Amino acid sequence: MNDLSGFAITRKWPARHPDRLQLYSLPTPNGVKVSIALEETGLPYEVHRVSFDAHDQRSPEFLSLSPNNKIPAILDPEGPNGRPLALFESGAILVYLAAKTGRLMPEDLSARYETLQWLMWQMGGIGPMFGQVGFFHKFAGKEYDDKRPRDRYVAEARRLLAVLDKQLTDRPWVMGDEYTIADIAIFPWVNNLVGFYAAADLVAWPDYRHVQRALQSFLARPAVRRGLAIPPRS
């Protein structure tokens, strides 16, 4: 078993089970991507809550693992070549977990790259755009008298939902019959948009019936239900 005591993050969040993958996260759309993937694959892991209220994400210990001060981050005691591996960025972590377990990614090389294309689409489009909708609709931005910024992001969110709806027209999941890390990356953000952000009416949610159907299938998965609540809200 590898010793994790040399990693500064373990001074703030001691590893009770140092043989398990360590997850530092919150139940946000980006955070639950990783907890859902871990639940889907069955990898043993230990979760640590990074409290934004306490500014944990700005602590030297967290920054030693995630220099961009964003969750989620992981520390795997059994990384490549048997050595510990620290990773931040949810997309990179999803790719790593898929490679480590041989799960959630197609075996066919062309299909693997197509899966990565949809993962990057989420990282570069859905995440930032839906997040801005949330800011201007639910949080501080809703107080702005000028609604042009909100409307710009709402229009882009609708466009992205239309792209996703078209992709799902004749298939259960983004890549077809196979459930992949692309779905795990995309649907927590869709769920957040129409749920926590309460933007369903704003983005004309009824127009995207294929996305609605796939989201319900996603939320029905036991691993997804568990992952959406990890780490537990304090």
pLDDT 10s digits, 81-135: 999 999 999 999 999 999 999 999 999 999 999 999 999 999 999 999 999 999 9
Type of residue at 82: G
Give residue 102's region: left, alpha or beta (phi > 0; psi -120 to 50).
left
The pLDDT tens digits of the residues spanning 5-39 come to 999 999 999 999 999 999 999 999 999 999 999 99
Strand partners, 25: 49
> How many C-beta atoms lie closer than 10 Å to residue 14's C-beta?
13
Give residue 203's region: left, alpha or beta (phi > 0; psi -120 to 50).
alpha
Is the N-terminal amide bond of 60 cis, ω within 30° of 0? no
Q: Which among 100, 89, 106, 126 is positioned nearest to 181, based on CA atoms?
A: 106
Q: How confident is the model at residue 1 (pLDDT cuts 50, 70, 90)?
A: low
Distance CA(38)–CA(27), nearest Å, equals: 14
Non-local (6+) Cβ contacts of 211 within 8 A are: 161, 164, 165, 168, 190
How far separated are the first and last CA of the chain, in Å rounded? 31
For residues 63-76, average pLDDT: 97
Pairing of strands 21-25, 45-49: parallel
Q: How confident is the model at residue 3 (pLDDT cuts 50, 70, 90)?
A: confident
Question: Does this model's pTM top 0.75?
Answer: yes
